[in-house]
Structure 1
Amino acid sequence: MESIFLALGSNLGEREETLRQARTLLQRAEGVNILAWSALYDTEPVGGPEGQGPYLNAVLVGTTELSPTDLLRLCHAIERDCGRAPGEHWGPRALDIDILCYGDQVLETAELVLPHPRLHERRFVLVPLCDLAPDLVHPVLKKSMRRLLADLDASPRVAAYLENW
């Protein structure tokens, strides 16, 4: 079993319900055991087209027996099941699931990069990740998530939205 950290985000439709549905589907997936999740955060969109609505973001922690590639396929299937349709890169979406960390594994393929290549640049990921594992050490940068968050500017906005969801 490998420990996993997954980032969830949504800025279309019933955002909170979509994130709940994604969490439930991950909890029910064979080979995945979701152990805990962060609070939900309301965040400004980063990158992508102008005029997007705000996101809700969270991070889940768990374990898996799936390979990184099989976990990625599962995440993509759940995104589709929750209404994600092909669209503009970094554009609005019903659901986005990113694999942030898969144990201490460092991997770079055409399909998947581990740890997530922009993890250390994103407040909307690091804030909820620090709810769960502030002392987790980035396997490449060798800094804790708490340190990576402290190194970032205070913008864009990441505001507490809902503690228990």
Structure 2
Amino acid sequence: MSTTVYVALGANLNEPVQQIQDAVLALKKIALDAIVNVSPLYRSVPMGDVEQPDYVNGVARFNTDLAPIALLDALQAIENTQGRVREIRWGPRTLDLDILLYGTQIIDEPRLSVPHYGMKQRSFVLIPLADINQQLILPCSTELKSLITREMRAELIQI
């Protein structure tokens, strides 16, 4: 059975735009029909207190027949292939791939929470998500466009 998923894309080390482009190519290998829709990319200020370069962020949408944990494993394999090291929470990274939405499912497992726990407050997620599907309604019945503020739009720079 096919499920539409939305995945956040982020990188701030080792040529971040190229890291995301390489990740999209890898996503095409796990997407049904090798079709991946990708938002424009944005530059954003890092979260947390760790000194690091700005991020490049976007969102990808594709259909998959992978179960949620299998998709998580596939995304983490892509991150690892591209040199992801998990040392510091909210630290710099070559690539970060997070499952934002898995169809309309709400998932709460030790390794995976969907919808992604912080997506409603993060401009670098909401804006690219709206670029792909402005009419999206989240599993909690919230309209995506109702979450986006003028201030959020001002935080990001499209690249």
Tell me which interval the TM-score lies in, with the shorter structure as reference length: over 0.9
SS of the aligned residue for 2:85 comes to coil
Map Cα deviations across residues 81-111 of structure 1 (whole Å, 9 max, x no partner): 0110121011000000000000000010000
Matching residue of 1:11: 12
Structure showing the higher helix proportion among its residues: 2
CA contact (8 A) 1:101 1:114 kept: yes
In 2, Cα distance between the equivalents of 1:12 and 1:32? 30
The answer on whether the counterparts of 1:100 and 1:115 sit within 8 Å (CA) in structure 2 is yes
SS of 2:100's partner is: strand
1:111 aligns with 2:101: no
Q: Is the 8 A contact 1:134 1:146 kept in 2?
A: yes
TM-score by length of 2: 0.93
Residue 146 (structure 1) aligns with: 145
CA shift, 1:155, in A, is 7.7
Q: In structure 2, what is the Cα distance between the partners aligned to 1:70 and 1:113?
A: 14
- Could you say if the C-alpha distance between residues 125 and 46 of structure 1 is closer, same or farther in structure 2, counting changes exceeding 3 Å? same
- Are the counterparts in 2 of residues 46 and 156 from structure 1 also a CA contact under 8 Å? no
Q: How many residues align?
A: 158
Aligned 1:39-58 pairs, distance under 5 A: 39-49=40-50, 51-58=51-58
Partner SS, residue 124 of structure 1: helix
The corresponding residue for 1:134 is 134
**Structure 2 unaligned regions, length at least 5:** none
Conserved 8 A contact 1:68-1:102: yes
Distance 2:154 2:54 in 1: 11
In structure 1, list runs of 5 or more residues that go unmatched. none
- Partners of 1:72 and 1:32 lie apart in 2 by 19
Distance 1:71 1:32 in 2: 16
Amino acid at match of 1:145: L
What CA distance in whole angstroms lies between the structure 2 residues aligned with 1:155 and 1:36? 21
Task: State how far apart, in whole Å, the 1-side matches of 2:33 and 2:71 are.
Answer: 9
The answer for the alignment partner of 1:124 in structure 2 is 124
Alpha carbon RMSD of aligned pairs, Å?
1.7
Contact 1:123 1:156 in 2 (8 A): no
- Aligned residue for 1:154, secondary structure, equals helix
1:156 is displaced (CA, Å) by: 7.6
Give yes or no for contact 2:32–2:64 (8 Å, CA) kept in 1. yes
- State the TM-score, normalized to the length of structure 1: 0.90
Q: Structure 1 vs Structure 2: percent identity of aligned residues?
A: 34
The equivalent residue for 1:70 is 70
Give, in whole Å, the separation in 2 of the partners of 1:129 and 1:36. Answer: 11
Show CA shifts across 1:7-50 (max 9, x none).
Answer: 0000111111100110001101265743311001011112241x
